[in-house]
Amino acid sequence: MSREQRTFGNALFVNLARIPFLVSEADLLHMAAEISDWSPQFLDVDPVHGARFALYCEQHGLKFPSLKFILCSYELSASCIAKFCRAFLACRFSTFTARPRPAICSWKTSAAK
């Protein structure tokens, strides 16, 4: 899908894979590039996808200065996953259970456009 097809208002869905362990290095690089270009203030993540992405970022020294908060609204996260994401993506992490959504979605506030 094109970036335009994955953009809904202030939300950009960056992950195209349903299974986090099958996401390729090229896909992770593409996701990181889109997040860097988009400059979101927060990510809405599935805990396992978020941990996989955080590990990739840590291994490659990637930082996202605009990122302030990670929200895990897909399922309850294990405390170790929350700590991992907080440590390597260097921002706040919160969880709550809601209806299923795509695995990683970045959001921009109107002030960050």
Is 59 contained in some domain?
yes
Q: Does some domain include residue 57? A: yes
- Asked if 57 contacts 32 with a C-beta cutoff of 8 angstroms, the reply is yes
How far apart are alpha carbons 83 and 54 in whole angstroms?
11
Pair 40, 12: CB distance under 8 Å: yes
How many folded domains does the chain comprise? Answer: 1
- In terms of residue numbers, what domain contains 95? 42-107
**Each residue of 57-86: pLDDT tens digit?**
889 999 888 887 777 765 555 666 666 666
Global pTM?
Answer: 0.69
Helix and strand numbers (H, E) in the chain are 3, 6
Highest mean pLDDT among 14-23, 70-79, 86-95: 14-23
The verdict on residue 55 lying in a domain is yes
The per-residue pLDDT of the chain, averaged, comes to: 75
Q: Is 7 a domain residue?
A: no
Residue 113 domain flag: no
